[in-house]
Chains A and B, each alone.
Chain A
Amino acid sequence: MSGKTVRKPVDTFKFILRKVLLVILAAMVVFPLVYMLSSSLFRPTDFNRLHLFPDTPNFANYAKALSHRYFGHYMVNSVGTALFAAVVRSVVVILAAFAFTHLRFKGKNFFLGALVLTLFVPQEAILYQNYRTVAALGLIDTWTGIVSTSLFSAAQMLLLMGAFSGIGKEPYDAARIDGATDLRYIANVLIPMTGPVVLTMGIQTMITTFNSYLWPLLVTNRPQSRTIQVGITMLGFVEASDIGAQMAALTIVTVPFLVVLALAKKRIETALIRS
């Protein structure tokens, strides 16, 4: 900020008030996170004492969480389904957005309208019907079943259509004259030109799929098929009064995202701040 002025006493008071408010609010927001990190190093007896940090850190909790029978399965399933959903959804959405922006065909507005209509239908409201469909298709306990309802997104399609339209028709006409097929044009011109949008979309899909809870809970029965978000609620540590191990498991799942967030924070802000 440029306009630095000399502070009056009232302003100093307000300044301190603002900072105090900021510190209190920040402390409240991070408290659960801090408690998760510190209690993942607690011994069982530490949970009944009034302190925030353990006297001696107990790393056994991490060993316990990592050596849980299904922890590896959960992680593999989560990472796998997140990548699967991101790749397939991107392809589906890119193809549709290309057709709606670059091609002319009968019933275009009808199909577009029908696809946009899905924005009006919250998945929560049709949970049971979709569960029946997935069960009928024999997709219970499969990765395809877990990602099935996130393979299309009308919001992402509209976003991409905006990005594709912004490029205009000249590159497409030029590519056609050069004899390039549509798929080649998409792969070599369209995607590179809208790279950041496509990438952001893919990452968004990965994160939402990785973090989803209710749908994976419904379509998985076998413990080996569960994702980590469902799995961490079923580790059995809490039932065995081993809360430290539960906290260690939560920490293992959370810390990678905290790191990614620290790295991506600047980019997210520049994307959101219009100058």
Chain B
Amino acid sequence: MTCACKAYRLPLVTPSGSLKYKIKPYLFIAPAVILAALFWWYPSAKGFVSSFLTMSNSGKVMGFAGLKNYIMLFSDRNFLKSIWTTLRFVLLFVPLNTVLTVLAASLTRRRSKLSFIPEYLFFSPVAISLSAYSLLFREMFRGEASVVNRIFGLDSGWITDPTGAMVTLVILGVFLDFGIDYILLMCAFRSLDKNIIEAARIDGAGGWSLLFGVELPMIGKTVMVTVFLALKDALLICAPIIILTEGGPFRSTETIMFYYYVEAFKSGNRAIQNSLSSLVLVIAAFAMIIYERRGRKRQ
């Protein structure tokens, strides 16, 4: 992404003078600008401005609210609970996802005659869509009589009890991101300079020391990319919850974005919808800036 930014300023010659030539560039960018305005700038600005206004349910402006909407948001117990739930999900999901994908990629980092089989198996989750996986997990972890309990001899209630539901959601999250993270990491391993690895091997490094001392540090940038993607997915998780648990049982899997979805589309609470939407935008912008800065430093 960053490499592309720099390359666009090519000094290319354009005949100028006639009106047609002056308008033409704008016609070329018009579709992109209109779409960006309609579905990115306008909704962001409107949400941000509305978050400081008092609005009726039909959308009429009733007056200036100051920070009242934000105070209302932060005094809602369910919102505070959803922050905690999201954090718990992030803390369980991100490390587990990183460890498992790095493990899978490092186990298959050397090419061999039969390596295409595990490669395909680890890559295959990409082919299964979010809603398919969520439905599948709802059946596999449906409760005491679920197939997972029968095979592993467990008696967990899974999606029918609060802890089990969170664990199921974390496992589902790993499956949703596994394929793409795996292929990025595996390809990063194989992109490494063979001479450096060979040199390290001659120096006596082998197996684990080669992996942890030489190869993993060298693909650190790709690992960071997958961690960042996992963080973003985890903080914004909503759709799998709609299908898997609907936030339950007892709001135990109600994350911030699921709470937003319920308040905006089920309860129609404008004060909470606007203030939460603006809050997420501001946090996302900060996160992106920090990420971009880090990316630039590394280059």
Contacts and interface: CB of A to CB of B under 8 A. Distances in A.
Contacts of A6: none
Interface of B: 1, 3-5, 7-8, 10-16, 22, 24-26, 28-29, 31-33, 35-36, 38-44, 46-47, 59, 100, 103-104, 107-108, 110-112, 116, 118-140, 145, 147, 150-151, 175, 178, 183-184, 187, 190-191, 198, 201, 207, 232, 236, 238-239, 242-243, 257, 260-261, 264-265, 273, 277, 280-281, 284-285, 288-289
A248 interface: no
A21 interface: yes
Contacts of B103: 21, 25
Contact of B7 (A114, A162, A169): A162
A36 to B, nearest CB: 5
Which residue among A29, A96, A120 has the maximum number of chain B CB atoms within 10 Å of its CB? A29
Contacts of A93: 32
Nearest to A50: B150
Nearest to A126: B43
Contact of B4 (A103, A158, A168, A253): A158
Contacts of A33: 124-125, 128
Given A265-B120, A265-B123, A120 B25 contact: no
A262 B120 contact: yes
A32 B127 CA distance: 12
Contact of B29 (A18, A99, A166): A99
Nearest to B132: A250
Interface string A34-68: 01100100000001101010000000000000000
A107 B139 CA distance: 55
Given A121-B281, A162-B4, A269-B183, A250 B127 contact: no
Contact of A133 (B42, B125, B260): B42
Contact of B136 (A100, A101, A230, A250): A250
A90 to B, nearest CB: 11
Given A92-B31, A155-B1, A162-B7, A260 B118 contact: no
Contacts of A275: 191
Given A100-B8, A122-B236, A149-B39, A25 B132 contact: no
Which residue among B7, B100, B145, B238 has the maximum number of chain A CB atoms within 10 Å of its CB? B7
Given A118-B36, A126-B47, A129-B46, A257 B131 contact: no
B27 to A, nearest CB: 8
Contacts, number: 273
B32 A214 contact: no
A30 B236 contact: no
A104 interface: yes
A130 B39 contact: yes
Given A21-B107, A117-B41, 10 more contacts: A1-B112, A29-B104, A96-B33, A121-B40, A124-B238, A127-B264, A132-B59, A218-B265, A260-B127, A272-B184
29 contacts: A25-B122, A32-B137, A39-B147, A50-B150, A99-B25, A99-B29, A101-B10, A102-B10, A102-B12, A104-B12, A118-B36, A125-B277, A126-B277, A127-B261, A128-B264, A129-B44, A129-B47, A133-B43, A148-B39, A161-B4, A162-B8, A165-B7, A165-B10, A169-B11, A176-B15, A229-B130, A250-B135, A261-B124, A269-B187
Contact of A125 (B25, B175, B183, B284): B284
Interface string A92-118: 110110111111110010011011111
B32 A26 contact: no
A268 interface: yes
B3 A162 contact: yes
Contact of A254 (B38, B116, B128): B128
A243 B139 contact: yes
Contacts of B139: 39, 238, 243, 246-247
